Amino acid sequence: MTDDAAAGARDAAEAGPRGAREYVESPRSYREVLVVLAVLALGFGCDAALGSGGAVAHLPGWLVAAVLVAGADALIVASARATRTLVVTADELWVGEEFVPRDEIAGQAPAGDVPAELPVLGWPHGRAAAKGAVLRLADGRDVLVPTRRPDALLAALGVGATAPRSVPDVRVATEADLATLPELDARAGVVFRVAGYALPELPLSPDALADAAAVFVVGDPPDGFAWLDEVDGLAHLQEIAVAPRAMRTGLGSRLLEHACAWAGAAGHPALTLTTYADVPWNGPWYAARGFVEVDDPTPGLRAIRDHERDVGLDDVGRRIVMRRTLS
């Protein structure tokens, strides 16, 4: 991390969560203090009922006990809430004074035993008895987020099957949008590396986007985009990319269907693409949406495949051409 980046992280931590809070979970409740006071009041009542007339004399002692015990418990609760409250904002996930940008959350880590040495967000001294949701970050690290309600947290983050986020409308990319898409493309590609696919570094060219037949985006700023060209008289989907934080929200499907609708309206009988045959969110995902593998691609598609081999994409896995007929 550069000095500027480190300073920025420190400033953000000192400032705390910013913006509207989409989800808040406190580790302890002040109801615990009320329970302590109720128990002490019950004790005083029993003293008054069973004692030999000295309840009034004992009252100062009970009051002192109430102040000391309930006060100490209130301080413990306040400390826990100040240092371990979980907050989800539009851009960040916080636990106490530590945070993770939501763009760096790739998803929920695969189920399995939680290693004892796994870092706990907001708990600098280790796991202790922490339980919660294990998230996988874009750089491949896992982190345990202490929570009593893992499903609610995952839904708030939009990284589980229960994610409730609505998908915004698809729109034509503006010039300002196009300038942000190479960085979005790089973030989306991190998911491949997290899953163990060593993709070559191939920065997206702004010139290629400027010359595209169509570029559509979702979100402002964009959380996803679809880039289309025309190849051999057919519409060709060069790429769909979705930010890690927006995955599993239906955004990719919305972009794909919009691309198909655009291609059909433009008079193209089919939409083609190239992808990995066996990466779950590539070939199988497209097959579930009406695409079939093409055994004899046209010259333009063969040229695309030759270029992909030249830049090393085939070193990662089997690449195929797919096509969806448009009605």
pLDDT at 5: 37
In this structure, of 124-138, 146-160, 175-189, the range with the lowest mean pLDDT score is 124-138
Q: What's the rounded mean pLDDT across residues 14-39? A: 70
Q: Kindly state whether residue 260 falls inside one of the protein's structural domains.
A: yes
Q: Kindly state whether residue 183 falls inside one of the protein's structural domains.
A: yes
C-alpha–C-alpha distance, residues 298 and 110, integer Å: 40
pLDDT at 242: 93
Cα distances (angstroms) measured from residue 124 to each of 77, 89, 272:
19, 22, 50
Q: Kindly state whether residue 58 falls inside one of the protein's structural domains.
A: no
Asked whether residue 165 carries a pLDDT value surpassing 60, the answer given is: no
Q: What's the rounded mean pLDDT across residues 158-170? A: 60
The model's pLDDT over 95-140, given as tens digits with 9 standing for 90+, comes to: 888 888 887 787 787 666 667 778 888 876 655 556 788 887 766 6
Q: Kindly state whether residue 282 falls inside one of the protein's structural domains.
A: yes
Paired strand residues for 236:
229, 272
| Number of structural domains in the chain | 1
**Which one is predicted more confidently, 232 or 75?**
232
| Residues ≥6 apart with Cβ < 8 Å to 55 | 44, 47, 48
Q: Kindly state whether residue 121 falls inside one of the protein's structural domains.
A: no
Task: Give the CATH number, domain containing residue 180.
Answer: 3.40.630.30
154 closest CA partner among 245, 251, 19: 245
Mean pLDDT, the chain, integer? 82
In this structure, of 25-29, 176-180, 280-284, 304-308, the range with the lowest mean pLDDT score is 25-29
- Per-residue DSSP letter, 120: B
Asked whether residue 6 carries a pLDDT value surpassing 90, the answer given is: no
Q: Kindly state whether residue 198 falls inside one of the protein's structural domains.
A: yes
Asked whether residue 2 carries a pLDDT value surpassing 60, the answer given is: no
Give me the helices (H) in the chain, please.
Answer: 3-15, 31-50, 55-84, 150-157, 175-194, 206-210, 251-265, 283-287, 299-310
* The dihedral sign for the CA sequence 151, 145, 243, 101: positive
Global model pTM greater than 0.75? no
Tokens for 182?
A: 């190479």
Q: What's the rounded mean pLDDT across residues 187-195? A: 84
Q: Kindly state whether residue 40 falls inside one of the protein's structural domains.
A: no
Asked whether residue 157 carries a pLDDT value surpassing 60, the answer given is: yes
pLDDT at 13: 44
Split at pLDDT 50, 70, 90, the class of 69 is: confident
Q: Kindly state whether residue 228 falls inside one of the protein's structural domains.
A: yes
Asked whether residue 7 carries a pLDDT value surpassing 50, the answer given is: no
Domain membership of residue 305 as a residue range: 170-325
The model's pLDDT over 241-254, given as tens digits with 9 standing for 90+, comes to: 998 878 777 889 99
**Burial of residue 320 (number of CB atoms within 10 Å: 0-12, 13-18, 19+):** buried
| Residues ≥6 apart with Cβ < 8 Å to 325 | 269, 270, 290
Split at pLDDT 50, 70, 90, the class of 3 is: very low
Asked whether residue 193 carries a pLDDT value surpassing 90, the answer given is: no
Q: What's the rounded mean pLDDT across residues 13-30? A: 68
Asked whether residue 17 carries a pLDDT value surpassing 90, the answer given is: no
294 closest CA partner among 310, 278, 314, 274: 274
